[in-house]
Amino acid sequence: MCSGAAHGFNAALAAAFQARIYGALTGFCKVISDLGQWYVYVPAGILLVAIPAARRAGGFAALLTLGVAAGLNTALKLIFAQPRPDVLRLVTETGYGFPSGHAMNCTAFAGMCLFLVLIHKNPVWVRRLLPVLGVLFALCIGFSRIYLGVHYPLDVLGGYLAGGCVCCAAVCALGSLRANADADPARVRLRWVMDRFYSGKFI
């Protein structure tokens, strides 16, 4: 994907993140990176569907968004076929690097969860605090992947952008469906079906 000066800058920036290796920071980054693995997201998504309150709030929408992001990430990695950095790797990873799956899945899934929190009646402090924590977590995920030597900075940036696009598309799809249902009686039934699906009432 990158070549020439762009690749040199990307590699130099990745190396700069590893200019100093600290034991405590390495441990922290490994923990944060592990929180972005499938074995954390999948159970979290299942809980959003299994818990009635979370399901009614849109648990299916969040789980579906995660699935789309994960599938699209796999496709994009095969398309761009960008190798991972040739630097000291503090964890073992295989496959291509661009875009970062951790950054993409985190942005899409956490973004949709935050959207659902904001549109429902939650305490003001919750609606103010969770977005801040979500952004900090996403930034930590990205930093950890670069520091651990498994992604270039542009891999992470690409993951953020792609995940943001998936999240925005999911939000717009939900909003468009509901808005069009109000304007077009022929879509009222479809809206009713989709609302029940996203709230888990078919289960």
CB within 8 Å of 197: residues ≥ 6 apart: 60
How far is 107 from 137, CA to CA, in rounded Å?
Answer: 10
Q: What is the pLDDT of residues 151-172, one digit of tens each?
A: 999 999 999 999 999 999 998 8
**Does residue 178 belong to any structural domain of this protein?**
yes
- pLDDT tens track for 68-113: 999 999 999 999 998 888 877 888 888 999 999 999 999 999 999 8
Q: Does the residue 175 lie in any domain?
A: yes
159 domain residue, yes or no: yes
Q: Is 117 inside any structural domain?
A: yes
Residue 52 in any domain: the answer is yes
What are the C-alpha distances in Å from 112 to residues 27, 99, 191? 29, 19, 19
Q: Does the residue 57 lie in any domain? A: yes
Number of domains in the chain: 1
Q: What are the pLDDT digits (tens) for 38-50?
A: 889 889 888 888 8
The pTM of this model reads 0.80
Q: Which three-class secondary structure state does DSSP give residue 153?
A: helix
**Is 3 part of a structural domain of the chain?**
no
Burial class, 68, CB count within 10 angstroms (exposed 0-12 / middle 13-18 / buried 19+): middle
Alpha helices by DSSP H, the chain: 4-17, 23-34, 38-50, 52-57, 59-80, 101-119, 124-147, 153-183, 188-199
Domain assignment present for 15: no
User: Residue 105 is part of which domain span?
Assistant: 22-199
